Structure 1
Amino acid sequence: MSSIAALAAAMLVAGCGGGGSTGSSGADGNTLTLWTHNAGNAAEYGIVKRIVKDFNAGQSKYKVRIQAFPQGSYNDSVVAAASAKKLPCVLDVDGPNVPNWAWGGYLAPLDLSKGHVAVKDQLPSTVGTYQGKTYASGFYDVALTLYSRKSVLKKYGIRVPTLDKPWTKAEFMAALAKIKAGGRFTNALDLGTGDPGEWWPYAYSPMLQSFGGDLIDRSAYKSAKGALNGDKAVEWGKWFRSLVTKGYAPQKSGKSPGDDFRNGKTAIQWDGSWSGQANVDKFGSDLAILPPVDFGGGPKIGGASWQWGMSSTCSNKEGAQAYLNFSRQTKYFVDFARATGTIAATTAAAQQVKGYETGGQFNVFLKEAQKFAVVRPVTPAYPYISTVFSKTAMDILAGADVKGALDQAVSQIDNNLSTSHYSTGS
């Protein structure tokens, strides 16, 4: 899943303090280095290589040279290079990390006004900003959604929700109760809780936000108090735990929740757009792609995936900007989406991707990203917040006292906010 990062490495950035670096790197004259996390992803890496090849062939002033890393070691490599002031000129970054990397002095603001695609035409979740400046831009996003089967919903007399009229909490819980009582499925619901790390805030904090809580008070980004431990957050936590105590969902999902859904073990699955094609291949027209539940504050899903930026230490920023603006052609947005099975960052590009065009079977994912996506908190503290929330949510699902666990999480986050001297604001 392209939006999930190895945030443990990124947390090292959070301890470095604000301010830019004074060294320069990433270019040898007009030859610029580009880093990507796609060494193990042949499809996406192929598009990166194509853009670089086209750029190098289309003009004679600059030459871009690629260095690819496996995703698992990428953030460590960036942290080490930043410490040594040896970052490349161009690099990709997971969207939620952009504020942390900008605050830490890794990234420089971008001027994308000369690109073929205007920033305003992109999904907001595909543009990385911090303190009013743009630091990164991506070609695609993904969307969370519920999967079921039309025949299953019909059998149990469950209304098929729509984007305009999603399930309410009461409807959702009644549906799970009916399915469990039917005895046909091992799991009425599978939330994918066996997946560790960034999946937890990506997948479950939107539910918290739909209840009316959040990971932090976004009015100032200075405290999590009230947002993460207020009445709405406690209500979310109690509901989250009830899915296990009522036997609707496993505390820890199996190794392959998608296979469990496709093999008939699970009735409803909380998963991403990346599973859409495999589910269609299995169920055909019986597949039901359903919007997220409205728990009271409107349906919510996570937003932001991998994006591209320029290092603050790049010694040839003019060349880096030229490459980044060149890459912003609709055809490349289309190529990335086709190669990765993701949602193109612009509507114009999406119209050229089979299944995502208006009326296409996957167009619902684009609409969900447009209507429901919420980016993770735009603060340098996010990597720390992510880690704390993940552990807290796991503890709650395992039976910890909800209010106590959330109070402890707020205390930890607020202590980090007060001692790390982050620059605040979005």
Structure 2
Amino acid sequence: MKKSTRVAAVSVMTAAALLGLAGCAKGGASGDAASGTITLWTHNAGNEAELAAIQKIVDDFNASQEGHTVSLQAFPQESYNESVTAAAASKKLPCILDIDGPNVPSWAWAGYLAPIDELTDRLADFLPSTVGTYEDKTYSYGFYDVALTMVTRKSTLDDNGIRVPTPDKPWTKDEFDHALETLKATGSYAYPADFATSSTGEWYPYAYSPFLQSAGGDLIDRTTYESADGVLNGPEALEWANWFQGLVSNGYIAAKSGTDQTADFINGKTAIMYAGSWAAEKVRDAFGDDALFLPSVDLGQGPKIGGGSWQWGMSSGCSDPEGALAYLEFAAQDEYVASVSEATGTIPATDAAAELVPGYEPGGVNDVFRQFSKANAVVRPVTPGYPFISSAFAEATQQLLDGADPQKTLDQAVKDIDANQKQNAYQG
């Protein structure tokens, strides 16, 4: 991808910042009031390709009609969330803004987003993971998503008698463990696999909770969103925790990996890389047709991967909701979905857009990522309490990697999550 995609794809506002948002008065007025211009905020300053694609949409919209004018304002991703938090506190949110997908419920619960149900019919064509909802209302949509995949080389598997998995028949847990044991026994690698354990923050729930869900557990009971008890510390979750911790104790992955897993894989330090579709270009450049991008491991309930990236929504205090909705509808056209996806090297959100992006057309070299996303993507819990859940899970997972007792670690995470859910009435 053209930017630091792992960060862009899975970044999330801190729990403290979101709780600060929730503490502000709900439904703040827009900073567009009386200006005659609809302001659009994006986190893409510094990402020239994506910013240019968004600016093109804005320019085309402004030229397409005379009733509304959209003005783009870009922020560096590192300071974007702080800018939104400050604007929310002072009731000066813009009419249109982009939002990291997992944060949509928090922003909607806090009263800062207005539903965009008028676009529901159009958004039915989008990948489910690219549409943000909360309490049966639609609040946002994104142009793209990314997909996690097991990356390796066909020659590596063939030389070691390891079956090449398919979407219909992924590796089972036992198969994957045996493959790692076989690769370790060769002595050819620093570690058989790389799970990017040196990454921090939202990478942990984005990348590792899908294994938990594949085993039959979850971050919280999604029927009520009131408690994690039984799903994050039950038998299935414990089985996941023991397996995940065993990847380190058995010497299959590093407790703290290198800082550039793609470079380490290309340089032969590892045999299998658990990474995202953003790594495809470099891996193909290095290995050509020998490169394989495989489904994730099936721990019992089918392979799962994280879903949900940056999306667009409308603030509840927008002074021109008609104009904001008109822009959001205009921007949702397939040609713009395609242009932003192509600029970022990401998975187009619609089938029609995919046909416009080289490599993502049916049968194209990148179509496999779109199929993984369609079949296996799980969005992070749709509750305003998600930022806290994210941080609690990340802390627990790091402790597991460091060798902590699995049952005690999971029980403590459940205790913390349940207390936060109750305290903040996150019953969404």
Residue 32 of structure 2, aligned match among 11, 26, 32: 26
Q: Which residue of 1 aligns with 2:16?
A: 11
Q: Which residue of 2 aligns with 1:57?
A: 63
For 1:62, what is the secondary structure of its paired residue?
Answer: coil
- Is 1:38 the counterpart of 2:48? The answer is no
For 2:283, what is the secondary structure of its paired residue?
Answer: helix
Rounded Cα–Cα distance in structure 2 between residues aligned with 1:96 and 1:106: 15
Q: Which residue of 2 aligns with 1:275?
A: 279
Rounded Cα–Cα distance in structure 2 between residues aligned with 1:112 and 1:303: 24
Alignment of 1:347-386 (within 5 A): 347-386=351-390
Q: Which residue of 2 aligns with 1:132?
A: 136
Q: Which residue of 2 aligns with 1:246?
A: 250
Rounded Cα–Cα distance in structure 2 between residues aligned with 1:22 and 1:149: 53
For 1:193, what is the secondary structure of its paired residue?
Answer: coil
Residue 111 of structure 1, aligned match among 114, 117, 130: 117
Q: CA deviation at 1:305?
A: 0.4
Rounded Cα–Cα distance in structure 1 between residues aligned with 2:30 and 2:356: 40
Residue 297 of structure 1, aligned match among 296, 301, 320: 301
Q: Which residue of 2 aligns with 1:399?
A: 403
Structure 1 residue ranges, 4+ long, deviating more than 6 angstroms after superposition: none
Cα pair 1:27 1:88 within 8 Å, conserved: no
The 1:164–1:316 alpha-carbon spacing in structure 2 relative to 1, beyond 3 Å, is: same
Rounded Cα–Cα distance in structure 2 between residues aligned with 1:275 and 1:87: 35
Amino acid at match of 1:409: A
Q: Which residue of 2 aligns with 1:195?
A: 199
Q: CA deviation at 1:28?
A: 3.4
Rounded Cα–Cα distance in structure 1 between residues aligned with 2:214 and 2:99: 27
Rounded Cα–Cα distance in structure 2 between residues aligned with 1:24 and 1:31: 11
For 2:119, what is the secondary structure of its paired residue?
Answer: coil
For 2:38, what is the secondary structure of its paired residue?
Answer: strand
Amino acid at match of 1:73: S
Q: CA deviation at 1:285?
A: 0.2
Cα pair 1:18 1:105 within 8 Å, conserved: no
Q: Deviations over 1:333-382 (max 9, x none)?
A: 11011110100001111122111111111111000000000000000000
Q: Which residue of 2 aligns with 1:156?
A: 160
Cα pair 2:30 2:315 within 8 Å, conserved: no
Percent identity over paired residues: 55
Cα pair 1:17 1:420 within 8 Å, conserved: no
Rounded Cα–Cα distance in structure 2 between residues aligned with 1:410 and 1:213: 12
Amino acid at match of 2:58: V
For 1:11, what is the secondary structure of its paired residue?
Answer: helix
Rounded Cα–Cα distance in structure 1 between residues aligned with 2:422 and 2:103: 20
Q: Which residue of 2 aligns with 1:174?
A: 178
Q: CA deviation at 1:17?
A: 5.1
Rounded Cα–Cα distance in structure 2 between residues aligned with 1:282 and 1:28: 55
Rounded Cα–Cα distance in structure 2 between residues aligned with 1:22 and 1:355: 43
Cα pair 1:191 1:270 within 8 Å, conserved: yes
Alignment of 1:211-226 (within 5 A): 211-226=215-230
Q: Unpaired runs of 5+ in structure 1? A: none
Q: CA deviation at 1:22?
A: 5.0
Q: Which residue of 1 aligns with 2:336?
A: 332
Cα pair 1:3 1:95 within 8 Å, conserved: no
Rounded Cα–Cα distance in structure 2 between residues aligned with 1:26 and 1:5: 27
Q: CA deviation at 1:29?
A: 4.5
Q: For structure 1, which segment, 379-388 or 27-36, has the greater mean C-alpha deviation from structure 2 after superposition?
A: 27-36
Q: Which residue of 2 aligns with 1:208?
A: 212
Number of residue pairs matched by the alignment: 421
Q: Which residue of 2 aligns with 1:74?
A: 80
Amino acid at match of 2:142: G
Compute the RMSD of aligned alpha carbons: 1.4
Q: CA deviation at 1:19?
A: 7.5
The 1:18–1:87 alpha-carbon spacing in structure 2 relative to 1, beyond 3 Å, is: closer
Rounded Cα–Cα distance in structure 1 between residues aligned with 2:37 and 2:283: 44
Residue 262 of structure 1, aligned match among 239, 263, 266: 266
Q: What's the TM-score once normalised by structure 2's chain length?
A: 0.96
Rounded Cα–Cα distance in structure 2 between residues aligned with 1:95 and 1:362: 23
Rounded Cα–Cα distance in structure 2 between residues aligned with 1:224 and 1:47: 40
